[in-house]
Each structure stands twice: as C-alpha cells, then as structure tokens.
Amino acid sequence: ESRAAAVIIDAALAAIQDTLDRSVDELGRLDAIAGDGDHGIGMQRGARAGRAAAAEALAAGAGAGTLLIKAADAWADRAGGTSGALWGVALRALGERLGDADPAFSAAVVEGVAAARDGVINYGKAEVGDKTMVDALVPFADTLAAALGEGADLVEAWRRAADSATKAAAATSDLLPRKGRARPHAEKSLGTPDPGAHSFALIVVAVGDVLDG
C-alpha cells in the first residue's frame, strides 16, 4: 500500500515535468505580458529537479511523503521566483500530510491538498480574486473535498476538481493582478490568464491522467 502510493507520486511528478516541458514557451509568453517572462523556465527547472529528487528517493525505497518532501525542497531550490517557493510550500504540505505509510490514500490526499492551499495562502498572502495561482488552487481544493464527500472516488473527484481549476484559471483573464510582479503592469494583463493559475490547472489535469491510470 505505501509502496503503491510512492509509485503514484513518482508517476505524477514525471507527468508534471512532461506537461511543463510542453508548456514552457506558452507560460513564458503569459508571464511576459505583465511579469518578467520567466514562469515557463522556472516551472520547468523546478519540476525537473523535483522529479529527479523523487525518483532518487523512490529508488532508495522511500514512501510517498518522503518523495514529496524531497521534491518540494529540490523544486523550491532550483526553480527560483515566487512560484517556485509557493510550489515548494504546497508539495511539502501535501507530503507531510500523506506521510510514508498512510493506508487511507484518498482521505490523506484531500487533507493534503487542503493543507497545501492553506500553506500557499499563508506564505503568499494572496486571496481569491488577486489574479494568482490561488484563484485555481482554492476551487480545486474545495471541489475535491466536496466530490469525495458526495461519494465520488479519487479519480472522479480529482477530475471534477481539475475541471473547476481549469475554468477558474481561464476566468482570471477578467481580473487585474493585485499580488506579485504583474501588479505594477496590471492593466496589460487584462484579457489573458494569470500564468501561475494556468500552470496550476495544467499540472492538476496531468496528475488526473496519472490517477486514472
């Protein structure tokens, strides 16, 4: 059971790396509109380092929580930038809740995602509507918890949550940024989505495909 969870986490981090490799230019273009243009390259660097750290931990026999914590530290260290620090916080919170031997994987994932949401909000102080990744993360966490509460299994609950994150990320196009580097050039970003919200949606969709096997 705990080995199975670690294999899922390893595969999820590999899928995250793949999707960010494919989206590096798109994310860079989005971030260049009102930010500094480094969101694609930063996320790619972070995901590569996180994936490598997790693979190494898996090979050494570590459990899911340890994989995520190693990935979190490597990601934050290598990515640089605001989003790198925030992804480090999120992955570490998830890993700490999952642990290495939790038999109730689905319940631990929901609690871990809620802890990641709280950690990101606490670290970055952004609220829903500030045009950041929080705008996708909050509906993702809420929908995931609600769907599992209604009796959906993890695959279906994650699919619904990823769907609401994707819609919420697209809806940030209508917002003006109130946090981060995009704030001074806020009006330029009207009509395009927040890069961090968009990359969040890409990531949870990719992880959903892994869970679906």
Both tokens assigned to 149: 């509460």
Q: How far is the CB of 99 from ligand ADP (least distance, A)?
A: 26
Please select the residue that binds ligand ADP; options are 1, 18, 36, 127, rule is CB under 6 A: 36
Binding segment (CB under 6 A) for ligand ADP, from list 61-69, 106-114, 119-127, 205-213 = 119-127
| Nearest residue (CB) to Mg ion, 89 versus 109 | 89
Site string for ligand ADP, 49-88 (x = CB under 6 A): --------------------------------xxx--x--
Please select the residue that binds ligand ADP; options are 24, 69, 133, 165, rule is CB under 6 A: 133
Decide if residue 180 touches ligand ADP (CB under 6 A).
Answer: yes
Please select the residue that binds ligand ADP; options are 3, 29, 178, 181, rule is CB under 6 A: 181
**Segment 70-89, which members bind Mg ion (CB under 5 A)?**
81
Between the alpha carbon of residue 33 and those of residues 22, 38, 104, 189, the distances in Å are 20, 11, 43, 6
Decide if residue 39 touches Mg ion (CB under 5 A).
Answer: yes
Residue 30 near residue 192, CB atoms below 8 Å: yes
Decide if residue 38 touches Mg ion (CB under 5 A).
Answer: yes
| Nearest residue (CB) to ligand ADP, 87 versus 158 | 87
Which residues bind to ligand ADP, rule: CB under 6 A? Answer: 31, 35-36, 38-39, 42, 81-83, 86, 124-126, 132-134, 179-181, 194-197
What residues make contact with Mg ion under the rule CB under 5 A?
Answer: 31, 35-36, 38-39, 81
